[in-house]
Each structure stands twice: as structure tokens, then as C-alpha cells.
Chains A and B, each alone.
Chain A
Amino acid sequence: MSIAILTAALVIVFGATGTRHQSFMVNAQQKPETAEVKIDNFSFGPGTLTVPVGIAVTWTNRDDIPHTVVSTDGAFKSKVLDTDEKFSFTFSKAGSYPYFCSIHPKMTGKVIAQ
């Protein structure tokens, strides 16, 4: 409710240009939001994750074997993640981001930012 009011206020303050983008930026500032992907048993869970633009997604490797998180089109690339290590990336542009583990390329996933 308060977010909706704030968004409406921002639209008024900033005018019509770039409102959608800015309102979500404010959302993130007001209430930092993140989304999680767990790596278990050589798979990304959830396999497809849909998030609002501006959200940081954090991957956590819960396997006994290292993995990586690498966007197929080069948007992001983690270092190798050993057990319990994490990688985060903030999706500031809308789009579909397929990714995979470059060590075990059968492991694939997708983030949809909208």
C-alpha cells in the first residue's frame, strides 16, 4: 500500500519519463529485495526465476562440488563457487537471461527480469 502511494508520488514528482524504472529503484531502496537460487544436486532451483527489474538475485552453491553461474550472452559471470559460496547479480534491465554452470554445462537456468 505504502509503496503504491510512493510510486504514485514519484510519478508526480518525476513526471512521465522513466517512471516505471524509477519507481522500482525506489522500491529497492525502501525495502531491499533479493531473490534466491539454490544450487543443489547439480541443478539450479528454481530453474526459471521471474523477478522485477532492479532485484538482486543471489545464487548459493549447496553441493559438495564447485559450480559457476555464467550468463550465456555475457551479462554476468561468477567466479567458481565452492560449497556454500554465493554470487549475486542485480538485474537492472528487463529481459530473459539464460545462464549455465561453465564447469557442468548440463546445468542450465534462466532469470526473467520484467
Chain B
Amino acid sequence: MSEKKKDELLHDHNHDGVDRRGFLKCMAWAGTGAFCVMKGGVLNSYSLSRISEISTADMMGELSFVQISDSHMGFNKPANPDVAGTLKAAVDKINALSGAPEFMLHTGDISHLSKPEEFDTVDQILKSATPKDVFYVPGEHDVLNDDGKQFLERYGKGSKGAGWYSFDKQGAHFIGLVNVMNLKAGGLGTLGHDQLEWLEDDVKHLKHSTPIVVFAHIPLWSVYPEWGWGTEDSAQALAYLKKFGSVTVLNGHIHQTMQKVEGNVTFHTAASTAFPQPQPGKADSPGPMKVPAEQLRSVLGITDVHYVRGQHALAVVDSTLA
């Protein structure tokens, strides 16, 4: 069986481009990022490691951008003693894309310990990426000890509250949300009242046909609450987005790719550029997962993940299938 054959779908029951086997492989994917193309209001995402297999036609669209996540600059434990090296490798892959992405999203945990030099290193490495604009939202590791003051100074210009904001690109509306502040004992990620109010107002006047892309650090759906992989008040946020025909939610935090489609909303988590974390419930804790050094970079995107709006059968790929 050739490498390429291995990735072909064997049983695509739901016609969603993901079979169960493919999904399980996808779950084991410790990639370096995702490449997204918006075409006709439909967002497709690809593992960066398989980018060479994607035809140029597929990579063209009204809009393309890249999501990277969880670079954890400063982490130096056995799971990856060289997180700068793997972030550079992610940038190399981005720069090798033939359909040049217009910008990047970083979905948080830029740094490991919120140290200035960690942010500086990431900034320096990302300078060598072809797309010059990077849009950030904080992860919990970026707001340690100072309630996110440093993050806001560095990345939060023009943002509201703890760093939420929105912008438009090629007719699509992008919304960066912050769900890592003021976390309560025993709870999950939190958006909070002020941010929810802002969100309601932000999308109120948009046409229903506007493609919406929401990005935040902690998943906005319940991936695995036992490990805190979810957001307390995400249902309220999603309620404000119900009227839209195409909503794409991009998250990080769980250091593995996962996808779920619910009605017009597709949820997608990106891999980390630093280290993988275990599948939900498959370890004692969600701590860094050590794989053999030679596999760290090669356990990349075995299956690309597609979302095509309008295909009725849902790829509801919850943690229970894992």
C-alpha cells in the first residue's frame, strides 16, 4: 500500500470526506498547522504536512489563510526540547505553500510561561513567514501572572476587553475571542458577559450569507470537560451565530486535530507546533505526550480534514469516538 493509498477513504458513510479510520488517524495527527481555503463561503482545511498532495486548483479560493497554535515557546521538556525548531519548520511549510496564504491566525499559547523573551522569539520566527499579518488570541499560558497585560500590549492593539476583536477579509467576518481569563475553580474556559454582549452586537448587522470564522484558544465545544477541554458559555456565543449559513470555529489548546460539524457550524482544532497531547481520556492527564524523537515531526497530518457546507450528513466526531 503506497503512502498516498493509505489516506484514501475506505468507508465514507456520511459522505463527509472522513471515515472512522481516517478520523482516528486524524486524531493521532500531531501536525504543525492547518491551511484553510475559503471558496464560495465554504472553508476547507488541510494538514500542512500533506500540502504537496493538494492540487493548485483546490488551494485557490477567494481567501486563504493559515492557522497555527500552541507554539509554547520556552517549553524545554522531553516531549520537545526544541520548540523553536519545530515552529521554524511550521513557517517553512507555510512559506512552501503555492497558493500564498494572506495571513495567519495564532490561536494562543504563543509562549509557555508568558516571559517577554518567549514572545520575542516567536515574533522573530514568524517574521520569516511569507504572510506578514498575524492575528492572535491568547492562550492561558500567555496571560500568566499579569492578567494578560503584556499580551494586550504586544498583540491587542485595537481590541476590546481582554483582547477580543473582529475584522473582515474578502467578505468573510473573522472574530477573535478570549476564553482563558478569570477561570473559575472546577470550571472550563469562559467568555464572560461583556464579551458575549460585544459579540451579539458585532454580528447583529451582518448578512446571514456572510461567512463567519471564529477563533479562540480553548475549544468552543465540549471536547472533554473532564480535562477542561471546553468553554462554559460557548452555547450563548454560538446562539448569536445561528442565523449564519457558514460558521467555522477554529481552536487550539488540545494539541491535536479534531473536527465536528453541527448544522452550519464546523469546529476544528489545530495541532500544536510544540508537542502533542493525548487523546481525550487516553492518559492519566492531558500533559505533554512524548513520542520517539524521530516521530515528532513525522507524525504529521495523515489525513486532511474537509468541511463542505451543504452536505447534510454530519461528521460529528466527538471525543467518544476516539
Partner-B contacts on A (CB < 8 A): 41-43, 63-66, 68, 72, 79-80, 82-83, 98-100, 102-106, 108
Contact = CB atoms under 8 A, between A and B. Distances in A.
Q: Which of A65, A72, A99 has the most CB of B within 10 A?
A: A65
B113 A105 contact: no
B114 A103 contact: no
Contacts of B285: 41-43, 63
Given A83-B77, A106-B186, A65 B144 contact: no
Given A41-B284, A105-B187, 19 more contacts: A41-B287, A64-B77, A64-B78, A66-B112, A66-B113, A68-B144, A80-B144, A82-B113, A99-B185, A100-B186, A102-B183, A103-B144, A103-B183, A105-B184, A105-B185, A106-B186, A106-B187, A106-B225, A106-B227
Given A66-B144, A79-B145, A105 B183 contact: yes
B288 interface: yes
Chain A interface, DSSP helix/strand/loop, else mixed: loop
Nearest to B140: A103
A108 B186 contact: yes
B287 A64 contact: yes
A15 B228 CA distance: 52
B226 interface: yes
A64 B288 contact: yes
B145 A106 contact: no
B131 interface: no
Interface residues of B, number: 25
Nearest to A99: B185
Nearest to B226: A106
A19 B128 CA distance: 68
Contacts of B284: 41
Interface of B: 77-79, 112-114, 140-141, 144-145, 183-188, 225-228, 284-288
Chain B interface, DSSP helix/strand/loop, else mixed: loop
B186 to A, nearest CB: 5
B254 to A, nearest CB: 13
A37 to B, nearest CB: 16
A100 B287 CA distance: 17
A66 B115 CA distance: 13
A20 B285 CA distance: 42
Nearest to B228: A106
B145 A65 contact: no
Contact of A105 (B188, B286, B287): B188
Contacts of B78: 64
Contact of B185 (A64, A100, A103): A100
A65 B287 contact: yes
Nearest to B182: A102
A67 to B, nearest CB: 10
Contacts of A43: 285
